[in-house]
Structure 1
Amino acid sequence: MASWLPETLFEIVGQGPAPSKDYYQLLITQSQIIFRWWKISLRSEFRSAKPGETKETHEDFLENSSLQVQVALIFGAKILDYVSNLCKGKLDYLERLSDNLLLKIIFYLDMEDISRLSQTSTKFAKLCKSDPLWEQIVQTACDTITPDMRALAKDVGWRQMFFTDKIQLQRQICRKRQKQRQAKQKEKQKSI
């Protein structure tokens, strides 16, 4: 199964904690950890500082406490835990699936499970609230979707459309039509 993985397992970039302006990159491949830094300073003694790079095997990284402390200071404890797990071979295969495939899977969940899944990570929160997912859900729940409904969904989002009752939807569609008519009348008056 590891052969299905891309060469780069994880990559993150960031700036050092204040007052530092230094820039860092952490790259995890299937075989090594690459930690890069660029000194950014207005002070004359650091202007000629060259970028640096450290490469470690996964095993060496797990034993290098000073590099782990640097990673935690720059990127946070959660990133350090995630990187440590990657180095130990604990890969999150679900996280590596494409968003389109995950959306197809999520579509088959019931509403309660979608709500629970959205609380597991920021990635799943984003996917569970995404317009493509809720457009599919609305299309399955409704017999027909009118162009007015599509236009309203473009304004308020498909998720909001799903949770809004029919009477409110009809009112919103009527308001949208009135605004469009008023805009057309104003354009006609300007052209006259």
Structure 2
Amino acid sequence: MASLLPETLFEAGRQGPAPSKDYYQLQITRSQVSFRWWRISLRNDRRLNRPGMTNECHEDFLDDVNLHVQIALIFGPKILQYVTNLCKGEYDYLERLSDPLLLQIISYLDLEDIARLSQTSHRFQKLCTSDKLWEQIVALTCDTVTRDMKSLAKDIGWRQLFFTNKLQLQRQIRKRRQKNDDKEEVSTES
């Protein structure tokens, strides 16, 4: 399964904590951790500082407490934990799946499970409330999706369309048809 992973597992760049203007980059590949820094200063005595770089294999990184402290200060403890897990070989394969593939998988879940999944992360919250997902769910649960339903979904959204009961849905489609017919009559009269 690890062979399906790309060469670069994680990459992030960030400016150091205030008042520093220094810039840092962290890159995790399948075999090593690269930590780069650029010292940025307007003072003449520090202008000659050259960029620096540390490369370590995963095993060495796990033992390097100083680098852990630097990463936690610059990128935060969650990133440090994530990088540590990557170096231990604990990959989050679900996080690496593409959005279209995840939407396809989510569309087969029960509604309660979709609601719970949306509370796990920002990415899943965005996916679980997306119109693309609810369009797939409507297509899976309805026998036919009419042109009127698609038109109504453009206005109110697929999720709202799914949760609207059939009587209300029929009433809204009837109103839309009537408005369109009225507009056609006005345009033919003039």
TM-score of the aligned structures, taking structure 1 as reference length = 0.79
More divergent stretch after superposition (80-89 vs 127-136): 127-136
- Distance, in Å, in 2 between the alignment partners of 1:170 and 1:17 is 57
User: What is the match of residue 159 of structure 1?
Assistant: 159
User: What is the match of residue 100 of structure 1?
Assistant: 100
- Distance, in Å, in 2 between the alignment partners of 1:76 and 1:178 is 57
Matches within 5 A, 1:15-34: 15-34=15-34
More divergent stretch after superposition (134-143 vs 65-74): 134-143
Q: What is the root-mean-square deviation of aligned Cα atoms in Å?
A: 3.2
Structure 1 residues 75 and 180, CA gap change in structure 2 (3 angstroms): farther
Which residue type is aligned with residue 78 of structure 2?
K
User: What is the match of residue 190 of structure 1?
Assistant: none
User: What is the match of residue 118 of structure 1?
Assistant: 118
User: What is the match of residue 58 of structure 1?
Assistant: 58
User: What is the match of residue 37 of structure 1?
Assistant: 37
Structure 1: stretches of 5+ with no match in the other structure = 185-192
Which residue type is aligned with residue 8 of structure 1?
T
User: What is the match of residue 79 of structure 2?
Assistant: 79
- Distance, in Å, in 2 between the alignment partners of 1:24 and 1:157 is 42
Structure 1 residues 155 and 51, CA gap change in structure 2 (3 angstroms): farther
Structure 1 residues 39 and 137, CA gap change in structure 2 (3 angstroms): same
More divergent stretch after superposition (144-153 vs 114-123): 144-153
Partner of 1:139, secondary structure, is helix
Structure 1 residues 160 and 40, CA gap change in structure 2 (3 angstroms): farther
Whether 1:9 aligns to 2:26 is no
- Distance, in Å, in 2 between the alignment partners of 1:132 and 1:69 is 41
- Distance, in Å, in 2 between the alignment partners of 1:41 and 1:180 is 65
Which residue type is aligned with residue 81 of structure 2?
D
